[in-house]
Structure 1
Amino acid sequence: MKGDKSKAESKKADSKLAVKKGAAKGGKKAAAGAKDPNKPKRPPSAFFVFMEDFRKEYKEKHPKNKSVSVVGKAAGEKWKSLSDSEKVPFVEVAEKRKKDYEKLMNAYNKKLAGGSADEEESDKSKSEVNDEDEDDEGGSEEDEDDD
């Protein structure tokens, strides 16, 4: 009996520790999860391009269906049943969207890299201008004192 109590107590302690660890992990994840709203969205795969059309067709045939999972399962079954030649149009659209996404990401990355460099240069130029102004003012005051 005494052994049973110690096991129960250790289980309680383990569960308390597990909760604390989970809470700490959740806090870190939330802090690291700050996303830039200007960042382009990733492009859909060929299956998701197929899903766009399939959802419309499925809703027309089954207007009373409100379940997302049923639509997803039906789409998955239909996608698996399609031959490679039937999937080609969806794959082409997905590849086109991927190329567009890559262009947008390159522009986005250049903007991020360029934005920080511009700020540094402008700060440097401001400080250099201020330093020169201070030197000129300080020099002119010294000249006045010497007179």
Structure 2
Amino acid sequence: MRGPRTALIAQKVAGAKIILKKRKGEPKRGKQTTKDPNAPKRPATAFFVFMEEFRKSFKENFPDNKSVAAVTKAGGENWKSLSDSEKAPYIDKALKRKQEYEKAVEVYKKNSALGGNRDDEQSEKSMSGVHDEDEQEASS
């Protein structure tokens, strides 16, 4: 049985060194695309909506506990112990956030398809108008 194909092959050489060689015919990896900072952020899941509220209550009950791991562990155990009916409000909030996100993505895609954000164009026009006034005053 063969193992999974990988881009590198490990070969053992005398002297217990491992040399990594690229396989022939493997496709080159392309440049990774960078995420647009203007793109909308993905919405939180129901668990993370629950954790926002749980962190607040945990800090009130245990003000001396500064451990992130303890808060996360307690929150995870509490989430698992909730019934479906108790999870429902958090699921509803997560669905609302998802709908808002989908609307924001549509707006973002429309703006990016038009070649940029219309607000940026207006601000550039207003800036150019200011610079034109400065140039006219300087020439007078």
TM-score band, normalised by the shorter chain?
0.5 to 0.7
Cα displacement string for residues 90-114 of structure 1 (whole angstroms, at most 9, x for unaligned residues) = 0000000000000000000111111
Structure scoring higher RCO (CA < 8 A, sep ≥ 6) equals 1
Runs of at least 5 residues in structure 1 that lack an aligned partner in the other structure: 1-5, 21-27, 117-147
1:86 aligned partner: 86
* TM norm structure 2: 0.63
Offset at 1:13?
Answer: 3.2
User: Alignment length, in residue pairs?
Assistant: 99
Mapped partners of 1:75, 1:33: distance in 2: 35
Runs of at least 5 residues in structure 2 that lack an aligned partner in the other structure: 1-11, 23-28, 117-140
Mapped partners of 2:77, 2:112: distance in 1: 42
Mapped partners of 2:33, 2:63: distance in 1: 38
Mapped partners of 1:88, 1:13: distance in 2: 54
Aligned partner letter, 2:106: N
Cα displacement string for residues 16-51 of structure 1 (whole angstroms, at most 9, x for unaligned residues) = x38x9xxxxxxx79x525221111000000000000
Q: 1:111 to 1:83 in 2, by over 3 A?
A: same
* TM norm structure 1: 0.60
> Counting helix residues as a fraction of each chain, which structure ranks higher?
1
The two structures, once aligned, show a CA RMSD in angstroms of 2.3
> Counting strand residues as a fraction of each chain, which structure ranks higher?
2
